Chains A and B, each alone.
Chain A
Amino acid sequence: MFKEMSLKSVAAAALALLPVTAVAESPTVQQIKERGTLLCSGHNGSYFGFVEVNDKNEWKGLDIDLCRALTTAILGDPNANQIVPLSWAQRFPALQSGDVDLIIKATGWTMGRDTELGLQFSLPYFFGGTQFMAHGDLGITEAKDLDGGTICVEAGTTIERIAANYLSTLGVEHTMVSYESAAELRAAYVANRCDAFAGWGPNLAVLRATEIDNPDAHVILNDQLSSEPISAAMRQGDEEFVDVVNWMLAAMLIAEEEGVTMANVEDMAANPPNPKVARLLGSEPGMGERLGLRDTWAREMIAAVGNFGEVYDRNLGANSPYKLDRGLNNLWSHGGVLYAPILD
């Protein structure tokens, strides 16, 4: 933060005040272009589905793909980034000290982070919240069928409170059993000591897919008890960079909405079905100039990583080992809550 307050940013701020139509280039983007690499956050190990390492020692995952998308948007090359491994505790100081340009690391948008920590959040790109997983042989799909059941939770978490609250609102009689550690909790659930298990949705899906012998014997209930918006975090004071990140996410969502995929992006760009797609893919000018990027940035980005649906399916959804349902993370037009701002 301190170092970022260079003359450049002052100059950029001054430019922004002038009544000119040209876009003031973000100091962060300028720095990324000079460096030739985008510095993204990785993890010190692996966080299932979001940040992982493949057999070739390369990073992969939903968050990594978003970083690659942003790299393509800014620099035109999906590999021109450096993924800096960070622990959870280290991520915000690392952002402030300039070790990374932004954090895309399953990070929830909270008021404290937004205000006291001096961060700026992007549009949410993922919603994860408390959900239930139950043994499949109970034949239930909704929480109201849990009447008279035993629910396992991790002690002292917000999940415990949220689950109790939700079930008593529904008027479901239940017994809550809390366990000290996540490992104990899993063991108890697998040993059939409780009917259902409350936890963070994506984690439940990962557990179901990986650590339980027969994934089909377990079902994640439809109820979404709470929902936390997961966003990219940036340093405060560089609105133009926030714009770039937001429109990177927006372009991926618009592409999915319009059916533009990794496979057909070049055809779509050559014969755009409507003016919106033409603008999105840079067949008509306007997309690049307003962000200080190339007009074709979104086309290159989708050719490199795909639209949001493809990225999701590859890392968390149908084409991944986790098979996590889109649920809330679908487009608004398909019953989810993800939507893009208007591309005019």
Chain B
Amino acid sequence: MSDLSVTAPTKFQSITQVLKKRAFPTPTQSALSILVFGVLAWLAWSLFDWAILRAIWSAENVGQCGKGTGAGACWAVIDARHRLILFGLYPFDQHWRSTLAAVAIIATVVISCIPLMWSAKRIVTLWIVGFATYYLLMEGSLLGLQQVTTDGWGGLSLTLFLFSSVVLLGMPMGLGLALMRRSEMPFVRGFAVVLIDFVRSLPLLVTLFTAAVVIPIILPSWLEGDKIWRVIVAFALFFACYQAEVFRGGFQAIPKGQFEAGQALGLTYWQTLGRIVLPQVFRHALPSTINMVVITFKETALVIIIGFFDVMASAKAAFGTGEWAPYYLEVYVFVALIYWLFIFSLGQYGEYLKGRMAISER
């Protein structure tokens, strides 16, 4: 650039200033910028036109959908089939229960994210209440409602339940494994090392398939338990083994001197751990933990292979019938929005936590 004059950076710049500096400094760059903005605007307009302006919204107007008609997105498929996507095979007239149960699970997760709840007693009470509410509503027989066994559970409620049980079970298991792995007792350490490496060497698909399909062939029926619990335990174990390694990274970032200082002050092992080490471990492990949680949310869709009607499977069933088959794109967009909503919220919560911890770091 020929212009070498340097202006002192001002803290506040108007949008026009920013644009002028970033997008239109020279004629060539201006031309490029206009081209890029033009393409982006055209894409945004086409999307808007397809998704909103020319869209067909109501299931009654499905006749207007289709490629020959000039109509855009056929949201009629969502209008007609959203209950299948959201509730799977849950009995049609009992959908209010599934809705309430999903709300209970979301509320449980949201409330446990509030720092005020972070004491062992409160959080354990909350989880027991939350999950009991979910189970009582979904299963129903204990509340005197129509009984719905676990193979009737499905859709978004099932996805949320699988996800939150896996994370809530897997997190303490992961911490336990990480501590065992650091143990000075060779047997305990060896056990953790072998278990973690064994489970991590298996694909999740194999783990789930084994839990769902192979175990009932091997075990006697009284030990079998319901398929959904076997799958949750196996999934949680898988999560825990990865999470243990995340925690291990956190532990390694802490100088050994801190343990020694704790001992020198006369604190017990658990006091040192709980008051000095773990808060720092959590802080170091936070970004990778959020990552694990997000991945786990998406991986719950794998349960389709063992016949669970999670939100992804029920979406496939939603366009898997003659009259709705051409509108798979709309269904996928709808499901993508659901996933995005949850994962984006998780990511934002991670950012909030990071900010909060940065304050305590100062």
Q: What residues make up the interface of A, taking CB atoms closer than 8 Å to B?
A: 2-3, 42, 44-49, 52-59, 82, 84-87, 89-90, 93-94, 96-99, 206, 209-211, 213-214, 320-322
Give every chain B residue within 8 A of A90 (Cβ-Cβ). 209, 212-213, 305-307
- Cα–Cα, bound, A47→B317 (Å): 8
Alpha-carbon distance between A334 and B202 when the two chains are bound, in angstroms: 54
Question: In the complex, which residues 71-87 of chain B have their Cβ closer than 8 Å to any Cβ of chain A?
Answer: 80-81, 83-84, 87
For the complex, is B313 an interface residue (Cβ under 8 Å from A)? Answer: yes
Q: Are A209 and B322 in contact (CB under 8 A)?
A: yes
- Does B163 make an interface contact (CB < 8 A)? no
Expressed in whole angstroms, the Cα–Cα distance for A274 and B146 within the complex equals: 46
Chain B residues in 8 Å Cβ range of A87: 304-307
Tell me whether A99 and B317 are in contact (CB under 8 A): no
Q: Which residues of B contact A57 (CB under 8 A)?
A: 83-84, 87-92
Instruction: Kindly list chain A residues whose C-beta atoms are within 8 Å of the C-beta of B213.
Output: 90, 93-94, 97
Within the complex, the shortest CB–CB distance from A316 to chain B, in Å, comes to: 10
Interface residues of B (CB under 8 A from A): 66-68, 80-81, 83-84, 87-92, 151, 209, 212-214, 216-217, 221, 227, 304-309, 313-314, 316-323, 325-326
Most A-side CB within 10 Å, residue of B91, B209, B321, B326: B321
Having A46-B321, A54-B321, one finds 20 other A-B pairs with CB under 8 Å, namely A3-B221, A42-B307, A44-B305, A44-B313, A46-B319, A47-B320, A48-B320, A48-B321, A52-B320, A57-B83, A84-B307, A85-B89, A85-B151, A85-B308, A85-B313, A87-B306, A99-B216, A209-B322, A211-B325, A213-B68
Instruction: Check B320–A55 contact: CB distance below 8 A.
Output: no
Give the docked Cα–Cα distance between A243 and B50 (Å): 56
**For the complex, what is the distance from the CA of A44 to the CA of B317, rounded to whole Å?**
8
Q: What's the A-B contact tally at a CB cutoff of 8 Å? A: 104
Q: Is the CB of B322 within 8 A of A93?
A: no
A317 to chain B, nearest CB (A): 12
Contact between chains at B216 and A44 (CB < 8 Å): no
Say how far B269's CB is from chain A's closest CB, in angstroms: 45
- Evaluate contact between B320 and A46: CB separation under 8 angstroms: yes
Alpha-carbon separation in the docked complex, A48 to B322 (Å): 7
Q: Is the CB of B322 within 8 A of A210?
A: yes
For the complex formed, measure the closest distance between the CB of A198 and the CB atoms of chain B, giving whole angstroms: 21
Contacting pair A55 B304 (CB below 8 A): no
Asked whether, in the complex, the Cβ of B309 is within 8 Å of the Cβ of A210, the reply is: no
The answer on a CB contact under 8 Å between A46 and B216 is no
Set of chain B residues within 8 Å of A54, measured between Cβ atoms = 321
* Distance from A192 Cβ to chain B, minimum over Cβ atoms (Å): 15
Q: Are B304 and A45 in contact (CB under 8 A)?
A: yes
Instruction: Determine the chain B residues whose CB is within 8 A of the CB of A56 once the complex forms.
Output: 92
Q: Could you tell me if B214 and A45 are in contact, using CB atoms closer than 8 angstroms? A: no
30 A-B pairs within 8 Å (CB atoms) are namely: A44-B304, A44-B305, A45-B317, A53-B89, A53-B314, A53-B317, A53-B318, A55-B80, A55-B84, A57-B83, A57-B84, A57-B88, A57-B90, A57-B92, A58-B92, A82-B151, A84-B151, A85-B308, A85-B313, A87-B306, A89-B209, A96-B217, A97-B213, A206-B322, A209-B322, A211-B325, A213-B67, A213-B68, A321-B321, A321-B323
A-side contacts of B318, CB under 8 Å? 53
Q: Please, which residue of chain A has its CB at the minimum distance from the CB of B304?
A: A44
Query: Closest residue to A87 on the B side, CB-wise?
Result: B305
A44 near B217 with CB under 8 A, answer: no
- Cα–Cα, bound, A98→B308 (Å): 17
Q: Given A44-B307, A53-B89, A55-B84 in contact, is the A93-B217 Cβ separation under 8 Å?
A: yes
Instruction: Chain B residues near A84: list those with CB within 8 A.
Output: 151, 307
Residue from B221, B305, B325 within 8 A of A89 (CB atoms):
B305
Interchain CB contact (< 8 A) of B317 among A49, A52, A211, A320? A52
The reply to whether B309 and A85 contact each other, CB–CB distance below 8 Å, is yes
Q: How far is the CA of A154 from the CA of B306 in the complex (A)?
A: 27
By the criterion CB–CB under 8 Å, are A46 and B217 in contact?
no
Closest 3 CB pairs of A and B: A46-B320, A321-B322, A210-B325
Q: List the A residue with the shortest CB-CB distance to B224.
A: A97
CA distance A57 to B91 in the complex (A): 7
Measured CA separation A252–B67 after assembly (Å): 40
Question: What residues of chain B lie closer than 8 Å to A93, measured between beta carbons?
Answer: 213-214, 217
Most chain B CB within a 10 A radius of its CB, from A3, A46, A54, A84:
A46
Contacts A44-B305, A87-B305, A89-B209 given; does A210 touch B326 at CB 8 Å = yes
